[in-house]
Structure 1
Amino acid sequence: MKKIYIMMLLCMMLFTGCSNYRELNELGLIIAMGIDRSQDVENGYRVTYQVMNPSQLSTTGPSNGIPVTNYTVESKTIYDAIRMASTVIPRENDVTHLSLLVIGEEVARDGLNLLFDSFERGENARTYMPVFIARGSTAEDILGVIEPIESNPTKSIISTSENNQKMYASAKVKPVYEVISALTSEGTDLLLTGIKLNKDLKSRNQTKNLQDIEPAIIEVSGLAIFNHNKLVNWYDREMARTAHLILSELESTSFPISCDENKHITFMTKGSKSSIKTVLKPSPTLQVNVTLNSEIGETNCNIDISKAKVLKKLENDLEKEIANQIKQTIQIAQDAGSDVFGFGNKLSKEDPEYWKKHKKEWDKIFTNAGVDVHVNTFINNSGMITDPYETK
Structure 2
Amino acid sequence: MISIAILFTLTGCWNRLELNELAVTVATGLDKKGSKILLSQQVVNPGAIAAKGGAAANNAPVTLFQETGNSFQDAGRKMTTSSTRKVYTGQLQMLIIGEELAKEGLSDVLDHISRDHQYRKDFFVVIARGTKAENILKVYTLIDLIPANKMNRSLDNSSKAWGTTASVRMDQFMSDIISNGKEAVLSGIKVHGNRKLGETIENGQQIDPSARLQYNGLAVFKKDRLVGWLNAEESKGYNYTQGEIKSTPVVFPCPRGKKKITVEVLRTQEKTQFKKINGTPQIDIKISLEGNVSDAQCAIDLSNPETITQLEELTEKDIKRTIAAALNAAQTKYNSDIFGFGDVINRTNPKYWEKLQKDWDQAFPDLQVNVAVKADIRRVFLTKKSFRERMEE
What is the TM-score with the length of structure 2 in the denominator?
Answer: 0.91
The residue aligned with 1:280 is: 276
Q: 1:299 to 1:93 in 2, by over 3 A?
A: same
Native 8 Å contact 1:47 1:73 kept in 2: yes
- Give the alignment of 1:203-222 within 5 angstroms: 203=197, 205-215=199-209, 216-222=211-217
- Amino acid in structure 1 at the alignment position of 2:46: P
Q: 1:16 to 1:231 in 2, by over 3 A?
A: closer
Report whether the alignment pairs 1:153 with 2:147: yes
Deviation at 1:59, TM superposition (A): 5.0
Which of 49, 52, 76 lines up with 2:41 in the alignment? 49
The residue aligned with 1:69 is: 63
- CA–CA distance in 2 between the matches of 1:21 and 1:186? 40
Deviation at 1:131, TM superposition (A): 0.5
3-state DSSP of counterpart to 1:256? strand
- Amino acid in structure 1 at the alignment position of 2:186: L
The residue aligned with 2:27 is: 32
Aligned residue pairs total 384
3-state DSSP of counterpart to 1:253? strand
Native 8 Å contact 1:169 1:253 kept in 2: yes
Deviation at 1:60, TM superposition (A): 5.4
Native 8 Å contact 2:183 2:339 kept in 1: yes
Native 8 Å contact 1:48 1:72 kept in 2: yes
Bigger helix share:
2
Report whether the alignment pairs 1:311 with 2:305: no
Which of 127, 131, 140 lines up with 2:134 in the alignment? 140
Report whether the alignment pairs 1:168 with 2:162: yes
- CA–CA distance in 2 between the matches of 1:164 and 1:121? 31
- Give the alignment of 1:370-381 within 5 angstroms: 370-381=368-379
- Amino acid in structure 1 at the alignment position of 2:91: H
Q: 1:15 to 1:340 in 2, by over 3 A?
A: closer
Native 8 Å contact 1:118 1:125 kept in 2: no
The residue aligned with 2:318 is: 321
Which of 343, 346, 354 lines up with 1:345 in the alignment? 343
Native 8 Å contact 2:69 2:75 kept in 1: yes
3-state DSSP of counterpart to 1:378? strand
Question: Percent sequence identity over matched residues?
Answer: 29
Deviation at 1:382, TM superposition (A): 1.2
Report whether the alignment pairs 1:79 with 2:73: yes
- Amino acid in structure 1 at the alignment position of 2:237: T
- CA–CA distance in 1 between the matches of 2:250 and 2:175? 31
Which of 366, 376, 384 lines up with 1:368 in the alignment? 366
- Amino acid in structure 2 at the alignment position of 1:317: L
3-state DSSP of counterpart to 2:272? strand
Deviation at 1:74, TM superposition (A): 0.8
3-state DSSP of counterpart to 1:131? strand
Deviation at 1:387, TM superposition (A): 1.7
- CA–CA distance in 2 between the matches of 1:364 and 1:220? 32
Native 8 Å contact 1:120 1:126 kept in 2: no
Native 8 Å contact 1:101 1:132 kept in 2: yes
Native 8 Å contact 1:116 1:176 kept in 2: no
Deviation at 1:279, TM superposition (A): 3.0
Q: 1:15 to 1:334 in 2, by over 3 A?
A: closer
What is the TM-score with the length of structure 1 in the denominator?
Answer: 0.91
3-state DSSP of counterpart to 2:202? helix
Which of 112, 115, 140 lines up with 1:118 in the alignment? 112
3-state DSSP of counterpart to 1:114? helix
- CA–CA distance in 2 between the matches of 1:64 and 1:243? 44
- CA–CA distance in 2 between the matches of 1:205 and 1:199? 11
Structure 2 residues without counterparts, runs of 5 or longer:
none
Native 8 Å contact 2:191 2:214 kept in 1: yes
Q: 1:387 to 1:168 in 2, by over 3 A?
A: same
Deviation at 1:261, TM superposition (A): 3.3
Q: 1:306 to 1:114 in 2, by over 3 A?
A: same
Deviation at 1:17, TM superposition (A): 6.5
Q: 1:208 to 1:113 in 2, by over 3 A?
A: same
Report whether the alignment pairs 1:226 with 2:221: yes
